[in-house]
Amino acid sequence: MALPRSARASQGLRFIGVCCAVLSLLAVGSNATGQWDLQSQELAVADDSEQIVAQMTIAEQATAAAWKHNLGALFAGGALALAGSTASVPPVQGSVGELFFGNCTDNHALPGAECGYAIVPLDYTNSSAGVAKIALGRYNATASPRKGVVFVNPGGPGGPGVNLATEAGSFFQELIGEDYDIIGFDPRGIGLSEPQTKCFPKNGSREAFIANTVLDRGYDVSPNLTDPYNRFHLIETQRDANALYQAQFQVCAQTMGETIKYAGTTSVVRDIDFITTLLEGTDSLINFYGFSYGTVMGQYLVNVFPDRVGRVVIDGVVDADSWANKAPYQQLHQWLNSTDATYEVFIAECAKAGPASCALAQKDNEDPEDILDRVERWIDGLYDAPLAVPNATRPGILTNGRARLFIEGGLESPTGWPQIAAGLAEAMRGDGAAVLNVVNTRELVDLERSAVSCNDQRPFAPPTAETIVDAGLEVLKHVSRFFWSVIIAEPDSGCQYWPVTPPERYLGPWNKTLNNPILIISNTHDPATPLVNGEAVHGYLPNSSALLVQNGPGHTSNALTSRCTIRSTRAYFANGTLPAAGTVCEVDQSPFPPPSDSTAPATAAASAKMRVLDHIHRMSPNRLRMASGRS
């Protein structure tokens, strides 16, 4: 008797998982162990304990042995051939305290922007460990008297930040004030900073490693959440994901060794403290504006250095307590608090705009529920019949999981909603090229994000695949249809297999009394960092913060322009003025502008903002246009 599709798919996905498990055996040869600190709420310095590493089942080991002779030829000499290599990361050269700025070589740099670096301790607990080189960008104050420097971070983690200053410094001065220098930086392990995260040394080798696995195509979820085969299929898929996580981190242990342990947010905020002293002197305060994951950085910063807080804004808030102390699958119940509500806003705004501005609408004044029903029925249909996409840049299939990834990522950037709607409409007519091109476009080229999130996370015993799947199904039923999308789109999972222990790992407390209050900004409909997170962090710091709410959709307050929000941030940086409790700012921009407005030429300020959104949003309008081939 033929198996149901979900069971057949599970068998196919299981083969991928076995292949990846074999890769881990061939490339490394044995399970890696590490040392984890299990201390609680103060600054955690690693002590000796064995990392818990999940073992393959006896059946999986037997299957792996049977396939080993066939797969050996594939790995030997190929892009993923790592067997026999040893970690050899050359030490960074320079002297601690060295600081350099000069002309930028990037053609997109603003006139007067500067590029450089600072040499900082590699390990702040061990001066003999060597040094790290932090790439810097600076856009100098354009008004007098100059007030100091503001470090900016776009989020991620994993995204570089130098060009936030060199290409978009003028935009940040509109938010902050022209009397500040804007400092962008690539956090350690990211971008041009050294040592770089290069677990997969050859270009494209990590992309080849995950191609057409669950980490690439996402999880396919049956429309019938009570179907027992759906749970079985998801458990098998999760086992494959676990094997992939284990394999990639063992590869990283082999190529980078202990060097990878020096990434992480605790070390990054010490770098900010150190560089602030180099730039402004020992008595200076630290000023910072962070978006998305940059709000985690901001919370670490003010709690590790509560007496050095100057002006700090965190915008689009991640709860740092959850980030540090919960496994990713346990965070998503809160993470997804506003995601489906934002999806409904997207559909409602599409209906309001009508077919002239939104390709998903079939007539003026259409009921939003009709649009939503069409889209959801199409996505559900992909579970049983994925769409062949021969004309994509990388031909393939558009699956249920990939369609969800496209929508979930697109919700972050409302100014890109017309392109999201157009891509969906084309796919629903049979041409999935634009959608597949977008989901196949990746910002991360290696494990630079994992180097941050795994060095940040409190160690935990590996959860079973069943535990993760059952948690996911509960969230799907009661919170959001995008649980599995976020697991893939925000790749922080698998840290139970992380092979190293950082020298420091800050786990709290998060409620220090600060010498100056910070400003927290949250949107009412942020699909990635909901308002409840901003409220939680404000609750940690009731006397050391103010909460500003922006009434609009999208990820961070820059998703749609609000002159009210900008006036509030400028006043805060000017003289410390905080918005009154309960302040709500309205937005001044529509996600679906009339056709006559949508083709207006971009001003220099608008272009600078678009470059910022390219860093903050995974599917910004610029990225959507480039990936889809639209002008």
- Is 230 in contact with 469 (CB distance < 8 Å)? no
**What is the pLDDT at residue 32?**
33
Range 325-343 average pLDDT: 96
**What is the pLDDT at residue 82?**
44
pLDDT > 70: what percent of the chain? 83
The DSSP 8-state label assigned to residue 327 in this structure reads -
Q: Which of these ranges, 61-65, 94-98, 109-113, 175-179, has the smallest mean pLDDT?
A: 61-65
Residues 238 and 220 in one domain: yes
Q: How far apart are CA 237 and CA 67, in angstroms?
A: 20
The tally of domains found in the chain comes to 2
Residues 6+ apart with CB under 8 A from 208: 79, 80
**What is the pLDDT at residue 13?**
43
Residues 249 and 365 in one domain: yes
**Residue 131, helix vs strand vs coil:** strand
Q: Is residue 34 part of a domain?
A: no
**Residue 597 token pair:** 């407005």
Of 384, 248, 335, nearest to 526 by C-alpha is 335
DSSP string, 33-84: --B-----SSEEE----BPP-PPPPHHHHHHHHHHHHHHHHHHTTSTT--TT
Q: Is residue 57 part of a domain?
A: no
Of 472, 491, 320, nearest to 405 by C-alpha is 491
Range 231-248 average pLDDT: 97
The DSSP 8-state label assigned to residue 464 in this structure reads P
- Mean pLDDT, rounded, of the chain: 86
Q: How far apart are CA 185 and CA 116, in angstroms?
A: 9
Helices (H), 162-319: 162-166, 169-176, 205-210, 214-217, 228-256, 265-280, 293-304
Q: Which residue has the higher pLDDT, 143 or 595?
A: 143
Residues 6+ apart with CB under 8 A from 628: 419, 422, 423, 433, 434, 437, 438
Residue 364: exposed, middle, or buried by beta-carbon count in 10 A (0-12, 13-18, 19+)?
A: exposed
**What is the pLDDT at residue 21?**
37
Q: Given a cut of 70, is residue 7 above it in pLDDT? A: no
Residues 111 and 220 in one domain: no
pLDDT band for 315, please (50, 70, 90 cuts): very high
> C-alpha angle 325/326/331, rounded to 5°?
135
Q: Which residues of 281-309 are buried (b: 16+ CB within 10 A; e: fewer)?
A: eeeebbbbbbbbbbbbbbbbbbbbbbebb
The DSSP 8-state label assigned to residue 543 in this structure reads T
Instruction: Among 45-59, 441-455, 557-571, name the most confident range.
Output: 557-571
DSSP string, 574-588: HH---PPTT-EEEP-
Residues 192 and 306 in one domain: yes
Q: Given a cut of 70, is residue 153 above it in pLDDT? A: yes
Q: Which of these ranges, 107-121, 191-205, 356-370, 474-488, has the smallest mean pLDDT?
A: 191-205
**What is the pLDDT at residue 114?**
97
pLDDT tens digit string along 358-412? Answer: 999 999 999 999 999 999 999 999 999 999 999 999 999 999 999 999 999 999 9
Q: Is residue 361 part of a domain?
A: yes
Range 181-190 average pLDDT: 97
Helices (H), 385-481: 400-410, 417-428, 433-439, 448-456, 465-478
pLDDT band for 630, please (50, 70, 90 cuts): low
Residue that terminates a domain, selected from 452, 475, 497? 497
Q: Is residue 455 part of a domain?
A: yes
Q: Is residue 52 part of a domain?
A: no
Q: Is residue 608 part of a domain?
A: no
pLDDT > 90: what percent of the chain? 75
Residues 340 and 473 in one domain: yes
pLDDT band for 304, please (50, 70, 90 cuts): very high
Q: Which of these ranges, 8-17, 56-65, 327-336, 446-455, has the smallest mean pLDDT?
A: 56-65
Q: How far apart are CA 448 and CA 248, in angstroms?
A: 12
Range 59-65 average pLDDT: 34
Residues 346 and 360 in one domain: yes
Q: Which of these ranges, 86-95, 98-107, 548-557, 576-585, has the smallest mean pLDDT?
A: 86-95
Q: Given a cut of 80, is residue 84 above it in pLDDT? A: no
**What is the pLDDT at residue 629?**
63
Residues 6+ apart with CB under 8 A from 536: 319, 321
CATH number, domain containing residue 186: 3.40.50.1820
Q: Given a cut of 90, is residue 89 above it in pLDDT? A: no
- Is 22 in contact with 240 (CB distance < 8 Å)? no
Range of the structural domain that residue 107 is part of: 98-198+286-327+510-597
**What is the pLDDT at residue 87?**
57
Residues 190 and 218 in one domain: no
Q: How far apart are CA 330 and CA 179, in angstroms?
A: 43
Residues 6+ apart with CB under 8 A from 275: 99, 118, 120, 134, 136, 151, 183, 185
Residues 397 and 426 in one domain: yes
Q: Which residue has the higher pLDDT, 288 or 204?
A: 288
Residues 555 and 455 in one domain: no
Q: Which of these ranges, 388-392, 532-536, 614-618, has the smallest mean pLDDT?
A: 614-618
Residue 520: exposed, middle, or buried by beta-carbon count in 10 A (0-12, 13-18, 19+)?
A: buried
Residue that terminates a domain, selected from 464, 497, 530? 497
- Is 488 in contact with 218 (CB distance < 8 Å)? yes
Q: Given a cut of 50, is residue 250 above it in pLDDT? A: yes
Residues 296 and 242 in one domain: no
Range 418-441 average pLDDT: 95
Q: What is the separation, in whole angstroms, between the first and last Cα of the chain? A: 51
**What is the pLDDT at residue 616?**
73
pLDDT tens digit string along 457-500? Answer: 999 999 999 999 999 999 999 999 999 999 999 999 999 999 99
Residues 358 and 468 in one domain: yes
Residue that terminates a domain, selected from 472, 497, 522? 497
Residues 475 and 384 in one domain: yes
pLDDT tens digit string along 540-564? Answer: 999 999 999 999 999 999 999 999 9
pLDDT band for 106, please (50, 70, 90 cuts): confident
Q: How many CA atoms lie less than 13 Å away from 475 in the CB half-sphere?
A: 27
Q: Is residue 471 part of a domain?
A: yes
Q: Can you name the residues that pair with 396 across neighbouring β-strands?
A: 389
**What is the pLDDT at residue 25?**
31
Q: Given a cut of 90, is residue 15 above it in pLDDT? A: no
Give me the phi and psi of 257, to 5 degrees please: 60, -140
Q: Is residue 503 part of a domain?
A: no
